[in-house]
Amino acid sequence: MKAIIEKYLYNNNYNKESNDFENLFLSHPNYPSLFAITDTFDLLSIENIAAKVPKEQFLELPESFLALFKDEVTLVKKEQNSIAVETEGKSKQKITTDEFLNNWNGIVVAIEPNLEAVPEKINLFNNKIVLLGITLLLLFIIEMQLLTFFSSIHLAILLIGFFVSVLIIDEKLHKTDGIASKICTLSKNTSCDSVIKSESAAITTWLDFSDLPILFFSFGILIALINEKALIALSFISVLSIPLILYSLWLQKIKLKKWCVLCLAISVLLIAQSSLFLLYESVIDFNYEVFLLSFVVVVPIWFFIKPYFFDLEKRKKETLELTKFKRRFTVFNALQKEVVNVEELTTISKIELGLQSAPVVVTLILSPSCGHCHTAFKEAIDLMKANKERVKLAIFFNLNPDNKENPFYTIAENLFQIDQDLPDKIEEAISDWHIQNMSLEDWTEKWSQKLISLSVGDNLRSQYEWCLSNDFNYTPVKLVNNKIIPNEYEIKELRYFLSDLEEGQPVLV
């Protein structure tokens, strides 16, 4: 499902959002519901709609959209005389409009195309698979000048085999959304994932068939680089792999009834390598030292780094599960704490930023001398700007008005005076201090007010006394809708709960 939605975003010019979608979607507490999809779109500030549409209004739908087709989230594209449907792990199919309508329950999810998107610069070096392919190609170009024609062909087969072997490992770790997924879903009878991850592919608890190609082709490449004369012996070893090839074909055809395109590619390469032994008769040079050296280098290295890759993937999944748990509003709500004198809190004079009608109020109790307050303010104002209709920001200070030696007290005084006299300048003034990190002298020179009213001092005292009543002897204190934000959460994580904070628990589709 994830790859289908990312493709839909990409097709509508949400290139950056497509890259950010994965973690937000997979860690959503309601994954993989439609609510998880639309809520993730909201988090990415993508205008969207999920609705049940009468089938007679199908022609009024946009050219491309997501739909529930045969109980699966499907990417749908209306074409001139047919409907193109694409589902995760399956090849794109073209069907008639009547066939689509008969298997569609009327639910659609659509987004507004991004008409202001800046064309994304394609950087092939950001794609690890492409980078690997380029590296192997360069290695072949360099080495072919030093090898005979026979050895060059052999090296080419080994490099291609190594590349395919990496794709197999990548498919085993996690279903690839790029090159491998397109290769592996050529038809309804192809599924690399089903074959590679099947129990029948395991040889022992620590070795399975996905290990063999990368071991063999790594072994062969190292031999080619050390002593090309030993390639004849390697071709002979390829002949010995024929029984494994036959078993692989039987496994795919008879038992699993699914073809693994990557596995078939490995089989073809091994057969081609075996053919080199039959076509080029020569004395077999079993250079035991070269073979032993290559074996001793390749096998330990692979079984040393293999657990790292698999543990890394396991940790990613565990992190997603923990994030999913953390994003549950019931957990967040249970960890929130009430404040003392909440009625008084509502009457305390504060600096307010954002739309006054916004339903979610983030309140920060700051100190101008606090470094952590800079981070809290930055996160809060970013959250507000990303959700202008939903979030507003309230700020006051925890400063002892009787401490006349505090050089930063003047910052709070001037900010409240600016809020009274120049409300359109208050966001710039407070941002200069907490985001731009201006020095005390520079900030004072720019923003110092000629006259500080007595009401400002009274406000700062009432703020300080309210903080004392709540034992707030630290800053920043972070509140949302007059409740303390749990220490386990950062302000930027409030974006996960905006719908809940606005309306309570959402109704899931």
Q: Return the DSSP state at 88.
A: T
3-state secondary structure at position 190: strand
Listed in sequence order, the residues at least 6 apart from 161 whose beta carbon sits closer than 8 Å to its beta carbon are 213, 216, 217, 220, 266, 269, 270, 273
- What confidence score (pLDDT) does residue 479 get? 96
Q: What CA–CA distance (Å, rounded) separates 405 from 501?
A: 41
The residues pairing with 395 across neighbouring beta strands, listed in sequence order, are 351, 364
- What confidence score (pLDDT) does residue 460 get? 95
| pLDDT (average), residues 99-118 | 84
Pick the closest to residue 212 from 261, 248, 249 (CA basis): 248
The rounded percent of the chain whose pLDDT value lies above 90 is 37
18-22, 359-363, 500-504 — which one is most confidently predicted on average?
A: 359-363
Is this structure's pTM higher than 0.75? no
Q: What CA–CA distance (Å, rounded) separates 421 from 252?
A: 77
Quote the tokens at residue 326: 């953390």
Residue 186: pLDDT band with limits 50, 70, 90: low
The rounded percent of the chain whose pLDDT value lies above 70 is 92
- What confidence score (pLDDT) does residue 463 get? 95
Q: What CA–CA distance (Å, rounded) separates 155 from 273?
A: 10
Quote the tokens at residue 459: 């406000």
Q: Identify residue 41 by its one-letter amino acid code.
A: F
Residue 230 or residue 100, greater confidence: 100
CA distances from 310 to 128, 173, 174, 237, 263 (A): 17, 7, 10, 29, 20
Residue 122 or residue 420, greater confidence: 420
| pLDDT (average), residues 95-118 | 85
- What confidence score (pLDDT) does residue 506 get? 38
Please write the tens of the pLDDT for every residue from 446-496.
999 989 999 999 999 999 999 999 999 999 999 999 999 998 999 999 999
Specify the range with the lowest mean pLDDT, choosing from 28-37, 78-87, 143-152, 242-251: 143-152
Predicted confidence (pLDDT) at residue 504 exceeds the cutoff of 70: no
Q: What CA–CA distance (Å, rounded) separates 466 from 283?
A: 92
Domains belonging to the chain, first-starting first, are 2-111 (3.90.70.10), 124-322 (1.20.1440), 337-503 (3.40.30.10)
Q: What CA–CA distance (Å, rounded) separates 91 from 86?
A: 6
- What confidence score (pLDDT) does residue 91 get? 66
Predicted confidence (pLDDT) at residue 142 exceeds the cutoff of 70: yes
**Pairing of the two strands 64-69 and 72-78:** antiparallel
- What confidence score (pLDDT) does residue 124 get? 46
| pLDDT (average), residues 119-131 | 59
Pick the closest to residue 233 from 313, 147, 292, 156 (CA basis): 292
Predicted confidence (pLDDT) at residue 137 exceeds the cutoff of 90: no
Residue 13 or residue 120, greater confidence: 13
Q: Given the structure tokens 């202001």, which residue do they identify? A: 116
| pLDDT (average), residues 430-454 | 94
Give the 3-state DSSP-derived string for 183-248, with helices as H, strands as E and coil as C: HHCCCCCECHHHHHCCHHHECCCCCECCHHHHHHHHHHHHHHHHCHHHHHHHHHHHHCCHHHHHHH
Quote the tokens at residue 240: 């010995």
Mean pLDDT of the chain: 86
Predicted confidence (pLDDT) at residue 181 exceeds the cutoff of 50: yes
| pLDDT (average), residues 386-411 | 92
The phi, psi pair for 407, rounded to 5°, reads -70, -15
Report the alpha-carbon angle 50-51-53, nearest 5. Answer: 145
Predicted confidence (pLDDT) at residue 180 exceeds the cutoff of 70: no
| pLDDT (average), residues 289-316 | 87
CA distances from 395 to 369, 441, 467 (A): 15, 23, 13
- What confidence score (pLDDT) does residue 242 get? 87
Listed in sequence order, the residues at least 6 apart from 135 whose beta carbon sits closer than 8 Å to its beta carbon are none
| pLDDT (average), residues 397-414 | 91
| pLDDT (average), residues 392-421 | 93
**Pairing of the two strands 391-397 and 351-353:** antiparallel
| pLDDT (average), residues 345-358 | 93
Peptide bond into 476 cis (omega under 30): yes
Please write the tens of the pLDDT for every residue from 32-84.
888 889 989 888 888 888 999 998 888 888 899 998 888 888 999 988 888 98
- What confidence score (pLDDT) does residue 93 get? 84
- What confidence score (pLDDT) does residue 505 get? 36
| pLDDT (average), residues 17-38 | 85
- What confidence score (pLDDT) does residue 507 get? 37
Predicted confidence (pLDDT) at residue 177 exceeds the cutoff of 60: no
